[in-house]
Amino acid sequence: MNFPERFSDLPEYAFPRLRGLLDSHAPGGEAIAMTIGEPQHAAPGFVGEVLAANLGGFGKYPPNDGTPELLATIAGWLNRRYGVTLDPARQIMALNGTREGLFNALIAICPEAKHGCRPVVLTPNPFYQVYAVAALAVDAEPVYVPATAATGFLPDYTSLPAEVLDRVAVAYLCSPSNPQGAVASRDYLAALIRLAEAHDFVIFADECYSEIYRDTAPVGALQVAAEIGADPERVFAFHSLSKRSNLPGLRSGFVAGGPQGMARIKQLRNYAGAPLPLPLQRVAERAWADEAHVVENRALYQDKFRVADEVFAGLQGFKGPEGGFFLWLPVEDGEAAALQLWQETGVRVLPGAYLSRAVDGDNPGKGYIRVAMVAPKEEMQRGLIRLRDCLYR
């Protein structure tokens, strides 16, 4: 058998790799899982009601791009949240989870070559792993750009050489960032969009954590693009109900952007997509129309931010997240720290190196662990205190 070489150098995925590190060792206490970013807060109360009212929809093929009602509701949310006006039929498409969109949109948008050379896809380092796999799938060169304390935990794409930037087809950006919880400012986004215009590339803005923040709602890439008059084809934004509405199992999100790019994304989906079942689209429609449950959910996370700030007060190198629900905690070695923590306390966290790539021998995630603050507050607080007392005292 001949198999493709393009994925041969992929490291084992983070969570199987973590099981290999920890599962042969007994936990040193009551197990507390703080690894995966799976929201544990209650789903909105209307979910069951909407599903029950639309069960007949499981007997129909769902609209591939999203129902007109869902697309109009998403357009309304984008207008209220970011002040942008998009054509629901031409500029928005429902997704079966945003990971699908972040992968397939690159297949639809990335050219086979740029200026006669192999195209480049920029990704922050560390990053959500689908970015790199998507780049390899289209035979682009993934370029991993450090997102460290020195750069405010966001990638400094403006620092790249012009010969690299001229080959860039797509740049991924996550804000609030996973895993560090950094938020891109209006100035940062404006500079990135202008860079994209100068070097003719597209920005994929992964904004799945946009509704979980401390005090001020993060600005959006589409919002800033509209404010500075950028080409509408320059930015594609990806959003999800998983974190915003505590509905990770609904597998519902959307992509929005310029009509020409969206036409190509939709065309690919006609052949290879997995549309969201109609009853689930009805739930998503209701969720995007309702903000009350989002405000309640955000308040729960803001309370958790306060708990984390108290537990780690005075810890050198600690920086609580501006958004999202992960802590990015400095340690000497992430794997050793995760193993020690599991063996001594039963708290399970993810080594930062599992979310990043070594470049020139340097892995920017090696000296960190990622801690998900998704468990109920009291359980999370117990886990954080155990972690602090084990690793920092």
pLDDT per residue as tens digits for the range 73-116: 999 999 999 999 999 999 999 999 999 999 999 999 999 999 99
The answer as to whether 5 is a domain residue is no
Domain co-membership, 236 together with 320: no
Domain co-membership, 154 together with 254: yes
Domain co-membership, 203 together with 57: yes
The answer as to whether 60 is a domain residue is yes
Residue 203: pLDDT band with limits 50, 70, 90: very high
Q: What percent of the chain has pLDDT over 70?
A: 100
| Strands 202-206 and 168-174, sheet pairing | parallel
CATH code where residue 277 lies: 3.40.640.10
Domain co-membership, 136 together with 228: yes
CB 328 within 8 A of CB 349: no
The answer as to whether 265 is a domain residue is yes
Residue 166: pLDDT band with limits 50, 70, 90: very high
CB 347 within 8 A of CB 387: yes
Place of tokens 């086979």: 112
Identity of the residue numbered 68: P
Residue 392, Cα to own-chain centre: how many angstroms? 29
Mean pLDDT computed over 175-181: 97
- What would the DSSP string read from start to end of 7-29? TTTPPPPHHHHHHHHHTTS--SS
| 303's tokens | 């309370």
User: Which residues on neighbouring strands pair with residue 92, listed in sequence order?
Assistant: 256
Q: How far apart are CA 294 and CA 239, in angstroms?
A: 14
Q: What percent of the chain has pLDDT over 90?
A: 93
User: Which residues on neighbouring strands pair with residue 347, listed in sequence order?
Assistant: 32
Domain co-membership, 33 together with 55: no
Domain co-membership, 352 together with 308: yes
Q: Which of 35, 175, 172, 153 is nearest to 101 (CA)?
A: 172
Name the E strands within 102-206: 120-125, 141-146, 168-174, 202-206
The answer as to whether 208 is a domain residue is yes
Instruction: Return the SS3 of 312.
Output: coil
pLDDT at 393 over 90: no
Q: Which of 243, 225, 244, 246 is nearest to 235 (CA)?
A: 225
Q: Among the three residues 268, 290, 312, which one is the final residue of a domain in this structure?
A: 290
**pLDDT averaged over the chain?**
96
Q: Following CA atoms 72, 241, 288, 189 in sequence, which dihedral angle do they give, to the nearest 10 degrees?
A: -70
CATH code where residue 339 lies: 3.90.1150.10
Say which residues have a Cβ less than 8 Å from residue 48's Cβ, sequence separation at least 6.
none
User: Which residues on neighbouring strands pair with residue 168, listed in sequence order?
Assistant: 120
Residue 5: pLDDT band with limits 50, 70, 90: confident
Q: Give tens-digit pLDDT for 249-262.
A: 999 999 999 999 99
pLDDT at 72 over 90: yes
The answer as to whether 144 is a domain residue is yes
Q: How far apart are CA 258 and CA 92, in angstroms?
A: 9
Q: Among the three residues 238, 261, 290, which one is the final residue of a domain in this structure?
A: 290
Residue 386: pLDDT band with limits 50, 70, 90: very high
User: Which residues on neighbouring strands pair with residue 372, listed in sequence order?
Assistant: 326
Q: What pLDDT, on a 0 to 100 scale, did the predictor assign at position 2?
A: 82
CA terminus-to-terminus distance, the chain: 54
Domain co-membership, 172 together with 195: yes
Identity of the residue numbered 140: A
Q: Which of 134, 171, 133, 136 is nearest to 155 (CA)?
A: 171
Number of domains in the chain: 2
Residue 362, Cα to own-chain centre: how many angstroms? 23
Q: What pLDDT, on a 0 to 100 scale, did the predictor assign at position 4?
A: 83
pLDDT at 50 over 90: yes
The answer as to whether 4 is a domain residue is no
Say which residues have a Cβ less than 8 Å from residue 86's Cβ, sequence separation at least 6.
75, 78, 79, 92, 222, 256
Domain co-membership, 281 together with 330: no
Q: Among the three residues 270, 290, 310, which one is the final residue of a domain in this structure?
A: 290
The answer as to whether 9 is a domain residue is no
Q: What pLDDT, on a 0 to 100 scale, did the predictor assign at position 3?
A: 83
The answer as to whether 8 is a domain residue is no
pLDDT at 276 over 90: yes
Q: What sections of the chain are H helices per DSSP?
A: 14-22, 47-53, 68-82, 88-91, 98-109, 130-137, 162-165, 186-199, 221-227, 241-244, 259-272, 278-289, 292-311, 334-345, 377-391
Domain extent at residue 333? 14-37+293-391
Q: Give tens-digit pLDDT for 309-367.
A: 999 998 888 989 999 999 999 999 999 999 999 999 999 999 999 999 999 999 999 99
Name the E strands within 198-265: 202-206, 235-240, 253-257
pLDDT at 6 over 90: no
Domain co-membership, 384 together with 323: yes
Domain co-membership, 186 together with 272: yes
Domain co-membership, 246 together with 202: yes
pLDDT at 303 over 90: yes
Q: Which of 82, 392, 346 is nearest to 239 (CA)?
A: 82
Domain co-membership, 181 together with 72: yes
